Amino acid sequence: MLQFMLRSVVLGLVTAVVLLLAIPSLRTNIFPPSSSPESEVRGPQQISFNYAVRNAAPAVVNIYSRQYIENDRSQLQTQGLGSGVIVSERGYIITNYHVVAQADQIVVALQDGRVAAAQLVGKDRRTDIAILRVQGSNLPVIPLNPNYTPNVGDVVLAIGNPYNLGQTTTFGIISATGRSSISLDGRQAFIQTDAAINEGNSGGALVNTRGELVGINTASFQQATELETYGISFAIPYRLANKIMEKIIADGRVIRGYIGVDGQDIKSVTSRLLGNEHVGGIVVLGVDPNGPAAEAGFELQDIILTIDGKKINGRQSVMDLVTELRPGTTIEVIILRKGQEQTLHVTVSEDIR
C-alpha cells in the first residue's frame, strides 16, 4: 500500500515538472515575479523630446526689427519681433521676409547670451523668406538632413520666441503637405502642422524628433485669415527655403525663369486614353500673349510632356522646372497636339511679376 502511494506521489511530481517546463506561463502564475523598489519608483517609461530640443534650440535666434523714429533719424525703436534659424557656420540665418521687411536695423539675440547686429543679405517676398548674416565664432548650427521628406503624421516641434516671452517649444504633428491656398500666388506649397505658432514664432524652426530642420515657421491660419481658428499653422519646407537662400547668396536676389503658360493636371481617365507614356503631362489652359511661350507657338489644349529634356509630373513640377531655368537660355519643350508630338523651342525670360 505504502509503495503504491509513493509511486503515485513521484508520478505526480514528475508530471508537474514536465508541465511547468512545457508551459512557461504556469511558472509565472505559481511564482509571480518580484517587483523591485526601483521599478515601482520609476513607473511607466517617460516619453521626451529633450534630445531634439537640445540639438536644435541653440541655433534658433530671436530677431528684433528696429526702425528710426519718424522725424528723428538719430533714434531707433523696436517695431517687429520674430525668430530665425542659423543654418551655416558662416553665420547665415533664414527667417521670414515679413519679420524684417520694414527694418532699418536688425538685431539678433542668440540663446547663449550673445547679441549682434545682422546684415540683410537678401529677401524674397513671394516665398516670405529673408536671409541674414551675423559675424561670430562657434555659432550653433541647426542639424540639417536634405534626405528627410516630411510626411503626414510625423511628430514635429516648433521652436521660437512668441510674444518675446523667451524661447518656447510647442509640439504637434504634420497635418498636411503641399498646402498652397494661403500663398500669394497660390503656387507655393506649405507644410501644415498643429504645433502652435504665434506672433514672434515667425521665422523659427520646425524640427523633427531628431532635431533636424523640417521647415521655417511662417504663420497660423488665424494670422493669415483673421478667422478664429486653432491648431492650423504653416511652415515653409526646408528644401524650398534652402533653395531660395542659395539663390540670394549667389545673386543677391531670386532670379526665376518664365515662359508664360499655365495649365491643369490631366485626369487619370484622360491619361489612360493618351497612353502610359504621357502620364504626368499637363494641358495648357492659358498662354501669356506677350510671353516666350506665345512667341514659340504654344496653343491652348497643348499637352506639355517634357521641359528641357525632363519628364514632367503635374502642374507643380512644371512651375518648379521653369523657375529653375536661367533667363536667356533656349530650351526644348515636347508637347502633344492633336495626337502628334511636336518640339517647340522657347527662350526663357525672367519672371518679374
- Quick one: pLDDT at residue 106? 93
Mean pLDDT score, 163-181: 87
- The residue among 206, 240, 274 that closes a domain is 240
Across the range 227-238, mean pLDDT stands at: 80
| For residues 229-252, average pLDDT | 89
Q: Return the residue matching grid coordinates 543654418.
A: 87
Position 247 in a domain: no
pLDDT at 333: 92
Q: What is the dihedral of CA 139, 145, 150, 153, to 10 degrees?
A: -80
Let me know if residue 33 belongs to a domain.
Answer: no
Q: Is residue 305 part of a domain?
A: yes
266 against 191, higher pLDDT: 191
Give the pLDDT of residue 200. Answer: 86
Q: Does 313 score more than 90 pLDDT? A: no
For residues 185 and 264, membership in a common domain is answered with no
- Residue 286 one-letter amino acid: G
Average pLDDT in the chain: 83
CA pair distance 325, 310, nearest whole angstrom = 12
Q: What proportion of the chain, given as a percentage, has pLDDT over 90?
A: 47
- At 186, the pLDDT band (50, 70, 90 cuts) reads low
> For residue 195, is pLDDT > 70?
yes
- Do 190 and 217 form a contact (C-beta atoms < 8 A)? no
Tell me the per-residue pLDDT of 284-299, one tens digit each, with 9 for 90 and over.
999 999 999 999 999 9
**Which helix (H) or strand (E) is 104 found in, with range?**
none
Residue 332 lies in a domain: yes
More confident residue, 201 or 29: 201
Query: Is pLDDT of 104 > 80?
Result: yes
Confirm whether 34 is domain-assigned: no
Select the more confidently predicted residue: 317 or 125.
125
| Residue 276 sits in the same domain as residue 344 | yes
Q: How far is the C-alpha of 58 from the C-alpha of 167, rounded, in Å?
A: 10
Distance, in Å, from the CA atom of 153 to the CA atom of 156, rounded to the nearest integer, reads 9
Residues 106 and 61 in one domain: yes
Query: Using 50, 70 and 90 to split pLDDT, how confident is the model at 60?
Result: very high
Say how far apart CA 204 and CA 210 lie, in whole Å. 16
Give the pLDDT confidence score for residue 41 in this predicted structure: 58
- CA quadruple 49, 59, 127, 200: dihedral, nearest 10: 80
User: Domain range for residue 77?
Assistant: 53-133
Residue 215: CATH number of its domain? 2.40.10.10
Selected residue with higher pLDDT from 70 and 207 = 207
Cell matching residue 9: 506521489
* CB-CB contact of 114 with 134 (8 Å): no
Q: Are residues 262 and 292 in the same domain?
A: yes
| CB-CB contact of 322 with 291 (8 Å) | no
Higher pLDDT, 346 or 15: 346
Domain-terminating residue out of 215, 240, 265: 240
Q: What is the DSSP string of 332-343?
A: EEEEEETTEEEE
Q: What is the mean pLDDT of residues 248-272?
A: 81
pLDDT at site 227: 57
Rounded to 5 degrees, φ, ψ at 341 are -75, 140
Segment 178-200 shows an average pLDDT of 76
Instruction: Report yes or no on 41 lying in a domain.
Output: no
Residue 163 is classified by DSSP as G
Number of domains in the chain: 3
Q: Alpha helices, DSSP H only, in the chain? A: 2-22, 24-30, 37-42, 50-56, 97-100, 221-225, 238-251, 268-274, 292-296, 315-324
Per the structure block, which three cell numbers stand in for 262? Answer: 499655365
Please tell me whether residues 68 and 125 are part of one structural domain: yes
175 belongs to a structural domain: yes
User: Does residue 235 sit in the same domain as residue 290?
Assistant: no
Distance of CA 162 to CAs 39, 109, 167, 204, 350, Å? 39, 14, 7, 10, 38
Cell of 333: 519643350
Q: Among 247, 255, 245, 199, which Cα is nearest to 95's? A: 245
Query: Does 269 have pLDDT greater than 50?
Result: no
Q: What pLDDT was estimated at residue 30?
A: 46
Q: Which of 312, 309, 307 is nearest to 280 (CA)?
A: 312
Instruction: Say if residue 188's pLDDT is above 80.
Output: no
Co-location of 228 and 266 in the same domain:
no
**DSSP calls for 237-265:** EHHHHHHHHHHHHHHSS---EE--EEEEE
Read off the C-alpha cell for 172.
Answer: 504637434
- CATH classification at residue 299: 2.30.42.10
Cβ atoms of residues 131 and 121 within 8 Å = yes
pLDDT, position 34 = 52
Select from 214, 236, 64 the least CA-distant residue to 143.
Answer: 214
Assigned domain for 15 exists: no
Tell me: do 177 and 129 sit in the same domain: no
User: Catalytic residues, which ones?
Assistant: 98, 128, 202
Alpha carbon 90 to chain centroid, angstroms: 22
Work out the average pLDDT over 3-23: 56
Segment 77-100, tens digit of pLDDT: 777 789 999 999 999 999 999 999
What confidence tens digit (pLDDT) does each residue in 35-46 have?
555 545 566 777
Do 161 and 210 sit in the same domain of this protein? yes
Domain boundary among 185, 215, 240: 240
